[in-house]
Amino acid sequence: MIVLTGATGGIGAALALRLASRGEHLVLTARDHDRLEQLAGQVHAAGGTASVHPCDMRDQEAVTDLVRQVLAEGVPDAVVVLAGHSIRRRLAASFGRPHDLVRLAGTNMLGPATLILGLLEPMCARGSGRVVAVTSAATRIPTPGWAAYAATKSGLDTWLRALRPEAAARGVGMSIVEMPLVATAMAAPTYGASPRGAMTPDQGAAMVLRGLNSRRTLVSPPWVRAGAVLSQAAPTTAARLAGVGGDVAARLLRRDRPARPAGRGRA
């Protein structure tokens, strides 16, 4: 039995179908009940079984309830945390908006941590299991505009890294997947529907599967690891590069450029 948060998202749904083809039983969660039911139907058609549990990760009581509902089905073999929310906002637009951090912390850190903690206890008692958390390349390469998103993903990452040795001693492995750009609904507002160089949702799902199926503690592209080393070894240079690089990258990656307002186009 595998618990999947963010199951109805681009990467989550692709992962659910890959796991279904192995005949797994999936506990699917996200907020939208209809989309969960629809996905459960696809999981059944693909050879798996599924139960659906709508839950808003920002609601701590609802997450605690979700833990109870999952444990009523059994102690999971694995928990995959994919639920996520991103906001891209530069500094000038962030003034007066501390609630962005609160919203993102609920979805990206506090809700997932509450769920993991609730399920980790019986998994540790049993002496086996796996936790896979999908964070972001943005946690290793801090980029203007993504401050609140990267901070909340980093919070979950740091929390899991510190728990990991003790969980491993109790038989539960943990893997962090530092996801690069994937062409899903989350990426679309910034980079368009099919950004240059983005992975497909299925390729994203394959990355998550590497964390689930192996004993790897980190699944991360080489360029993200290199960025992490540069950020630590040369933080001033890294900050300067990030300052100019973020906007340039957003322009280069976006294939379907937004139309220019009338009268501002070049002849």
Ligand X SMILES: NC(=O)c1ccc[n+]([C@@H]2O[C@H](COP(=O)([O-])OP(=O)(O)OC[C@H]3O[C@@H](n4cnc5c(N)ncnc54)[C@H](OP(=O)(O)O)[C@@H]3O)[C@@H](O)[C@H]2O)c1
> What is the token pair recorded at 27?
């506990």
- 82 touching ligand X, by CB under 6 A: yes
Beta carbon of residue 149, minimum distance to ligand X (angstroms, whole number): 7
- 139 touching ligand X, by CB under 6 A: no
Q: Which is nearer to ligand X, 32 or 166 (CB)?
A: 32
Which one of residues 27, 70, 114, 136 is an interface residue with ligand X (CB under 6 A)? Answer: 136
**Binding window for ligand X (CB under 6 A); candidates: 76-84, 162-170, 210-218, 243-251:** 76-84
CB-CB neighbours of 217 under 10 Å:
14
- 10 touching ligand X, by CB under 6 A: yes
Order of strands across the sheet that contains 172-179: 49-52, 25-29, 2-5, 78-81, 129-136, 172-179, 218-219
- The SS3 of residue 134 is strand
Q: Which residues contact 213 (CB under 8 A, 6 or more apart)?
A: none
**Binding window for ligand X (CB under 6 A); candidates: 25-33, 38-46, 216-224, 241-249:** 25-33
**Binding window for ligand X (CB under 6 A); candidates: 20-28, 50-58, 213-221, 228-236:** 50-58
Signed CA dihedral, 3, 9, 11, 16: sign only: positive
Query: Is 191 in the active site?
Result: no
Q: Which is nearer to ligand X, 64 or 124 (CB)?
A: 64
- Identify the DSSP state of 137: G
Tell me the sheet residues that pair with 218: 176
Q: With contacts defined by CB under 6 A, how many residues of the chain interact with ligand X?
A: 29
Active site residues: 149
